[in-house]
Structure 1
Amino acid sequence: MPASTVKRVTAADVARSLGLSRATVGFVLNDTPGQTIPEATRARVLAEAKRLGYRANTAARALASGRSRIILLVLPDWPLDYSMRTHLDEASLALDKAGYSLVTMTPHPGGHARPLWETLRPDVVIGMTPFEADRLAEIRASGVEHVIPSVPAGEFGAVGDLGYVDGPRLQVEHLVARGRSRLAFAASPDPRLADLVAQRRDLAAQTLRERTGTELVAAASMTESSAPDHLRAWMAAGVDGVVAYNDDVAALVLGAALRSGVRVPEDLAVVGHDDTPLARLLVPALSSVRIDTAGIGRYLADLALSAATGTPPPVAGPETDAYLVERETS
């Protein structure tokens, strides 16, 4: 018989097989609190349900309880790099242990797919970045009670004071402390990251201005083909330190420097961001900003669980901070 025509085993089938009332079986299968059902009866119901192949109708249960036990994480349209994968893996594991499922979606510009907050009815919708005001209103209008962040992008409180956003500040402060005064910013060419690249570049420029009163000498997007030309121009302009958007970009700068005979760190210091395994494998090993992406994933899960269960929100701890790991390139 085709799978689509197989009749679903219901609680009524279990009750009929055992000669028990539908209510009694329902109380057992739904683990309804406040019911005094003998343990022997409970064991019989569970054993028969397993024998018959009963599976709870989770959609109906969610409708009846008003809870889907689904957390929807809305991702920006960024590449799923090492840091993002670690972040998502840890958040998913933490939520699974609490009995919740993590579902992710990435809205694309001009996309036509129906948003998952309308089709899944998640208990919580959480964004990796603050939602625009119209998107936030759209999510709430769909019936989602808990949205994180709850404040639109650009408004006070939309972004917390979590330390991991301070990576560019740490990069610049480290280079300045090493006596580097003419800094350049090496950016990612991926257009999906344009906003994040601009945020990190602007924070690096602001920090340099605050610490030394000077400006970045240059900023450029690095590709395998363009890195040598940018490096030659930077060295001619007296650049002695590079703040890289991430470790992949830093590796392009480092490779171009080594192939052109530029000594690292004697002539040029390079600092990456994210402290991926690549940073430790490069020769010379790359100084980088370490972010506890697994810890941030757990913190994100705790935020979602606090909203779903009505418990106090977690307090940001060391796992949400960034710090610089000094290696051979600086």
Structure 2
Amino acid sequence: MKSAPLTVTDIAREAGVSRATVSYVLNDRRDVRVSEDTRGRILETARRLGYVGSPAARALRSGRGDVVLLLLPDWDISAQLELLLEEIGRLVAEYGLVCLRYEGEHWQGALHKLLSRISSACVVTFDPLHRDDRQALDSAGIPDISAQLLDHPGLPHTTALGQDTIVSAQIDHLLAQGYTRLAYLAVDEPRGRPFTEARVKAFHEICAQRQVDGVVSATVPSSAEAISDTIRDWTKRSDEPLGIAAWNDLVGLAITSAAADLDIAIPRQLGVIGGDNTRVAAFARPPISTVKFNLPAEARCIAARIAEVVGREAQHDSSNDDPTVEVVPRLSTALQATHGNDFDERETG
């Protein structure tokens, strides 16, 4: 026979206190005086007995739930985005809240169904909401945090880490190394297209601002042959060393591999900088320059905004954080080191 669920009465009996005292402690009522010894004994008793409170009941008492909904569109969740979401969840847990990640396109336009089932403290949106979903949030009185990663017409990104920031770091590094002919290469990933398109667009706009002429870009099928054909064509048409900004480190590795097969010298004829600062880039031969993202700082900013809207005190100060993006220079772009026949194949940074 299935046992009856534990109640506040069971904990009160086991801990030797009143039901009201147990209720104060389990609901973290700090306006009622309960000694720390008693508070600790009640919490330990609840853990030992395996007590799980009712989220719905807590929400009814407090006016809002303990769940922070992370609402993600139908994106390809890259390793970097995964790290960002995990860090947000870790930080939010310090406020006594729980992050629930909801992904895909099935919730879009039907957010009211989700909100009717989950008592939410707030939601975090990573892309603009449909009109119906915005109305559902407003009707429910649930605050939302915009952590928009992409730019939309009239709606610029609301995070420190913009796609243009990443591309700008790549371009400026290549130019500083002496590359005057630039290109951008990405592979086509249907669920990653919003990010690919944003970075390609930023590449051309920033190159125009830097007055870099003759730039090219391509988004090719995810195949070694397509990448090799593109590299062969670009280098044949360039009389000067070509600097390529790659979508990520994996694409950077594919470019260096294609260059090796085509006998194209890196970095003398072709320079490559990736993104994400993964081990792939560090272990490649030659090691690939990359862009490092300060994801912990981004997560701290988002978590602080969550704390503000739910009435909690922020635990972390992000005012002294390192830059949002930082280039990690390696041999794949060390054009200056190849001058004078003193090329050194060891990693430079």
TM-score greater than 0.5 by the shorter chain = yes
The number of aligned residues is 326
Q: Does 1:228 align with 2:228?
A: yes
Distance 1:323 1:229 in 2: 31
Q: Does 1:87 align with 2:80?
A: no
Query: Structure 1 residue 277: deviation in Å?
Result: 1.9
Equivalent of 2:71 in 74, 93, 96: 74
Tell me, yes or no, if the aligned pair for 1:163 and 1:320 is still in contact at 8 Å. Answer: no
TM-score after normalising by structure 2:
0.79
Tell me, yes or no, if the aligned pair for 1:78 and 1:193 is still in contact at 8 Å. Answer: yes
Q: Where in structure 2 are there 5+ consecutive unaligned residues?
A: 334-349
SS of 1:266 mapped into structure 2: coil
Aligned to 2:344: none
- Residues 16-69 of structure 1, C-alpha deviations (whole Å, 9 max, x = no match): 678975445434544434445678876776676566554332331122112322
Distance 2:15 2:286 in 1: 71
Query: Structure 1 residue 303: deviation in Å?
Result: 2.2
Following superposition of structure 1 onto structure 2, how do residues 300-315 of structure 1 map, counting pairs within 5 Å?
Answer: 300-309=302-311
SS of 1:270 mapped into structure 2: strand
Tell me the amino acid that sits aligned with residue 78 of structure 1: W
The farther-off stretch of 94-103 and 266-275 is: 94-103
Aligned to 2:269: 267
SS of 1:98 mapped into structure 2: coil
Distance 2:81 2:42 in 1: 44
Equivalent of 1:148 in 146, 149, 162: 146
The farther-off stretch of 170-179 and 285-294 is: 170-179
TM-score after normalising by structure 1:
0.84
Q: Where in structure 1 are there 5+ consecutive unaligned residues?
A: none
- Residues 193-213 of structure 1, C-alpha deviations (whole Å, 9 max, x = no match): 112111111111111112125
Query: Structure 1 residue 257: deviation in Å?
Result: 0.7
- Residues 53-91 of structure 1, C-alpha deviations (whole Å, 9 max, x = no match): 543323311221123221111223222332122212222
Aligned to 2:181: 182
Tell me, yes or no, if the aligned pair for 2:247 and 2:274 is still in contact at 8 Å. Answer: yes
The farther-off stretch of 215-224 and 9-18 is: 9-18
Query: Structure 1 residue 293: deviation in Å?
Result: 2.0
Tell me, yes or no, if the aligned pair for 1:291 and 1:322 is still in contact at 8 Å. Answer: yes
Q: Does 1:9 align with 2:6?
A: yes
Larger RCO, structure (CA 8 Å, separation 6 or more): 1
Distance 2:274 2:44 in 1: 57
SS of 2:138 mapped into structure 1: helix
Query: Structure 1 residue 268: deviation in Å?
Result: 0.6
SS of 2:331 mapped into structure 1: coil
The farther-off stretch of 225-234 and 112-121 is: 112-121
Q: Does 1:212 align with 2:215?
A: no
Distance change >3 Å, CA 290–CA 22, structure 1 → 2: closer
Tell me, yes or no, if the aligned pair for 1:247 and 1:278 is still in contact at 8 Å. Answer: yes
Tell me, yes or no, if the aligned pair for 1:291 and 1:321 is still in contact at 8 Å. Answer: yes
Equivalent of 2:279 in 269, 277, 280: 277
Equivalent of 2:94 in 71, 94, 97: 97
Aligned to 2:137: 139
